[in-house]
Amino acid sequence: MIQAVIFDLDGVLVDTAHYHFLAWQRLAKELGIHFTEQENEQLKGVSRMRSLEIILEMGNLQLSLDEMNKLAEKKNKWFVQYINKIKPDEIFPGVKELIQRIRESKIKVALASSSKNANTVLDLLHIKNIFDALVDGTMITHTKPDPEIFLLAAKKLNVLPSQCLVYEDAEAGVDAALAAGMKCVGVGSPNTLRSAHFVVAATPEFTLEKIKSIV
């Protein structure tokens, strides 16, 4: 029986994944590297630095750590500019209601995002207080696909990993949930998320009734 549900943020609760893409694409363009939305799938869920490494590898570029830090900072500045315009109604339709129904049925709810900007996004969406626990990129050493982030969320909720269900839009996130020994709902395309236990096109499609039917 599922005792806790853990939500990823970018791409599961709100479309910040698109803003990450726009900021990385802008940086890639400056560096003369061609970078498509398809290639962006590899960046979802992984850390800022790892994302930059992947883009530099695509362009066969080798830079010093100092130069890389400056580029990562630049991308983050753009990303923060984009997300500062987020309004509370940008939360995906039906998501808030789903979280409320889960909580009413006494199942715990946590947020686990690799992003160091997760707190800002939660504030802008006015949803910080609907979670029993929060874990973000500032609290972990190893980013997804490492299971650390989800194991920490389970620990904070005081539940066993096997009693948790994770909602994830990233391949790296699905791998992290499975490595943590949790059940996983992939939100997005069955092609990219084929290792998840279930795949839906949008977060609320995996309803409370479906959560309760997991044995």
Site string for Mg ion, 10-29 (x = CB under 5 A): xx------------------
Q: Out of 4, 6, 9, 157, name the contact with ligand B16 by CB under 6 A.
A: 9
Q: Out of 14, 137, 148, 171, name the contact with ligand B16 by CB under 6 A.
A: 137
Q: Which stretch binds ligand B16 (CB under 6 A): 110-118, 175-183, 189-197, 206-214?
A: 110-118
Task: Pick between residue 44 and residue 156 the one whose CB is nearest to ligand B16.
Answer: 44
CA 197, CA 61: separation in Å to the nearest integer? 37
Q: How far is the CB of 72 from ligand B16 (least distance, A)?
A: 8
47 binds, among ligand B16, Mg ion, none (CB under 5 to 8 A by kind): ligand B16
Q: Which residue has the tokens 């789903």?
A: 98
Here the tokens at position 203 are: 């977060």
Query: Does residue 181 contact residue 166 with C-beta atoms inside 8 Å?
Result: no
Query: Does residue 8 contact residue 46 with C-beta atoms inside 8 Å?
Result: no
Q: Which stretch binds ligand B16 (CB under 6 A): 84-92, 115-123, 159-167, 188-196?
A: 115-123
180-209: contacts with ligand B16 (CB under 6 A) = none
CA 59, CA 2: separation in Å to the nearest integer? 44
25 binds, among Mg ion, ligand B16, none (CB under 5 to 8 A by kind): none
Q: How far is the CB of 170 from Mg ion (least distance, A)?
A: 5
Is residue 15 part of the annotated active site? The answer reads no
Is residue 123 part of the annotated active site? The answer reads no
Q: How far apart are the first and last CA of the chain?
A: 5
CA 115, CA 47: separation in Å to the nearest integer? 7
Q: Out of 10, 41, 146, 148, name the contact with ligand B16 by CB under 6 A.
A: 10
| Residues near Mg ion (CB under 5 A), total | 5
**Is there binding between residue 210 and ligand B16 (CB under 6 A)?**
no
Residues of this chain that interact with ligand B16 (CB under 6 A) are 8-11, 17, 20, 43-48, 51, 76, 113-117, 137, 170
Residues annotated as catalytic (active site), given as ranges:
8, 10
